Amino acid sequence: MDLTQATARKASSLIPNLKSLADQKLGVFVDSATIGESLRKSDFFTLRLISYKESPSFAFLRSSIENPHSELAKISQVKVESQNGKTVGIAIEDKHVLGSGFSYIDENINPAAKSVFKKDIVTENEIAQVSLVFLQKALNNENGPHLFVTNNRLLLANASWFETNVPGGELNIVDPSEALTRMDLFAKTRDIYYVSANRAIVNEGYWYLISFRCKIPHFHFDSGNVLEALSYRVRFVLMSLDRIGVQYYLGANNDTMDNTIYHFNYLISLLSGIFDCLAIETGVRLQLQFKDRQIPWKTSLFRKTGNDFKRALKEKNVDLADHIQTYDPFIELIHQLRQTVIHREGVAKGIVAVRLGSARYQSNFIKVPQNMSELVERFEAKGKGEFSQFRWGAFVSPYHFAKALAQALVAFSDKYLELLGFSNYVQIAKEDLIEQFEKGRLGF
């Protein structure tokens, strides 16, 4: 399957090989100029990223510039070594680490800069920007896989081009937000679950519990069995999302596609179950009376089965009924997906090759059934899903689609509980661990 239409933003989302990182630290090479500027602006993602500079799971390096940001100055710098005006290698904190095979940089960097900047003559500054990608290539060759973290929009937009052309190979050019996601999943594949850079590592179950408490602050654990079931379903959604994420970053093949579908189908069934929990709890708390309420499937947020339930709800709680109506495209999308993955033919799947000029990459995709296309578009238009850069018509990246669904689920559920009368437990309890998690966590 081959898709020829893509945007530069789409092509910048590349796939590192997490298998190749086993028993190693993950290298993180930082563009000192753009990351330093983001630090000066107190960018949330950048501050969180740099807080992990001394973590034992990651090996940070930075590019060499004059007067780096004070936090970056604490990170070992990478310098280009030259003799007679010709590049001969690189050094980390003045220690020579690479020489042979590195001289190609001089003969390739100028043509690469011209291609990227689309100019016949490039400036020294433009060459310096592109040279960072070649440094990343050298670090990968010498010290194993690294992420190259930058906020340089041109480098990010041409990430796939660099991998397909020169310097070629896996380069993992990412912004701070994407770097945090990859660092998070890398750590989790090694059973390391960070609350924050400066707090103790916790076990898997406790991490997802903290994540749940942080994302659904209006949940109270002393609220009965139905909402208790909601709590573990949300936690399992978060776990499933991470499993899908790992498969995405392992690359596109039949095994990762099958594993992705396995976890995606489970995630959809969990989302549907969460809606049922909310509806059941609402019926009991508000003592709703409606036709055939003794029939379990009539207590529902879905259109066809829950109309009587929702009419009764509107008489008791208009704000909550309006909240459900606002999220109707999302709720109905989950209902239709559940019907497809559990009762019908399942979602179509395939490995999609994306071409953008001379740039290439491929990824696992699923095909949204035709009868759901409008629901997906309405879900997107309502601002409940930010995955458009990973969708081409009916084809969508299952990881980014699942992440958008999980984000919408979190926003919908917490507001739902608030409108149902629950106070914000996190604000009341003021648990330090939850506050640290929100400020310092790596991934979603």
Three-state SS sequence of 4-66: CCCCHHHHCCCCCCHHHHCCCCEEEEECHHHHHHHHHCCCHHHHHHHCCCCCCCEEEEEECCC
Give the integer Cα–Cα distance in Å for 266 and 256. 16
Instruction: Specify the amino acid at residue 309.
Output: F
Nearest to 96 by CA among 83, 113, 111, 85: 83
Q: What is the CA radius of gyration of the chain?
A: 24
Q: For residue 169, which of 177, 159, 179 has the smallest C-alpha distance? A: 159
Q: Are 272 and 158 contained in the same domain? A: no
pLDDT at 304 over 90: no
Residues 235 and 365 in one domain: yes
Please tell me the predicted confidence (pLDDT) of residue 201.
85
For the record, the structure tokens of 7 come out as 């945007």
Mean pLDDT of 429-436: 86
For residue 349, pLDDT beyond 50: yes
**Taking 60 as the threshold, does the pLDDT of residue 263 lie above it?**
yes
Residue that is last in its domain, among 188, 206, 241: 188
- Within-domain flag for 315: yes
Question: Is residue 323 classed exposed, middle or buried when 0-12, 13-18 and 19+ CB atoms within 10 A define those classes?
Answer: middle
What's the rounded mean pLDDT across residues 102-116?
81
The span from the CA of 126 to the CA of 117, in Å, is 8
H or E stretch including 81?
A: strand 77-83
Question: pLDDT value at position 378?
Answer: 81
Contact 122, 114 (CB under 8 A): yes
Residue 100 reports pLDDT greater than 50: no
pLDDT of residue 266: 97
Provide the pLDDT confidence category of residue 97 given band limits of 50, 70 and 90.
low
Contact 32, 67 (CB under 8 A): no
Average of per-residue pLDDT values in the chain:
88
Return the percentage of the chain with pLDDT > 90, whole number: 65
Residues 315 and 170 reside in one and the same domain: no
Q: Say yes or no to pLDDT of 58 above 70.
A: yes
**Nearest in space to 347 (alpha carbons), one of 244, 229, 233, 236:** 244
> Do the beta carbons of residue 109 and residue 87 sit within 8 Å?
no
Residue 11 has pLDDT above 70, yes or no: no
30 and 75 share one domain:
yes
**pLDDT attached to residue 358:** 58
pLDDT tier at 15 (50, 70, 90 boundaries)? very low
Query: What beta strand segments (E) does 338-434 contain?
Result: 348-356, 359-367, 391-392, 395-396
Question: Tokens standing for 419?
Answer: 């409108």
Given a cut of 60, whether residue 236 has pLDDT beyond it is yes
Return the amino acid letter for 23: D
Identify the pLDDT of residue 356: 61
Work out how many domains the chain is built from and give that number.
2
Q: CA 327 to CA 275: how far, in whole Å?
A: 12
Tokens in use for 184?
Answer: 């998070």
The burial class, CB within 10 Å (0-12 / 13-18 / 19+), for 142 is middle
Residues 229 and 172 in one domain: no
Are residues 25 and 131 both part of a single domain? Answer: yes
In the chain, the largest separation of any two C-alpha atoms, in whole Å, equals 88
The predicted structure's pLDDT at residue 388? 67
Peptide bond into 217 cis (omega under 30): no
Is the same domain home to 363 and 229? yes
**Is residue 440 assigned to a domain?**
no
Clarify whether residues 273 and 176 are in a common domain. Answer: no
Do 182 and 254 fall into the same domain? no
Q: Are residues 148 and 246 in the same domain?
A: no
**Residue 1 within a domain:** no
pLDDT for residue 12 is more than 50 = no
What was the pLDDT predicted at 140?
Answer: 86
Nearest to 184 by CA among 443, 441, 444: 443
Phi, psi of 163 (to 5 degrees): -70, -35
Kindly state the average pLDDT of the residues 191-214: 92
- By C-alpha distance, which of 358, 227, 213, 317 is closest to 281? 227
- Please indicate, yes or no, whether residues 228 and 313 belong to a single structural domain of this protein: yes
pLDDT at 339: 94
pTM: 0.91
pLDDT of amino acid 94? 61
Does the pLDDT value for residue 129 go beyond 90?
yes
- How far, in Å, CA of 270 to CA of 236, rounded? 8
Name beta bridge partners: 147.
28
What's the domain range around 345? 218-423
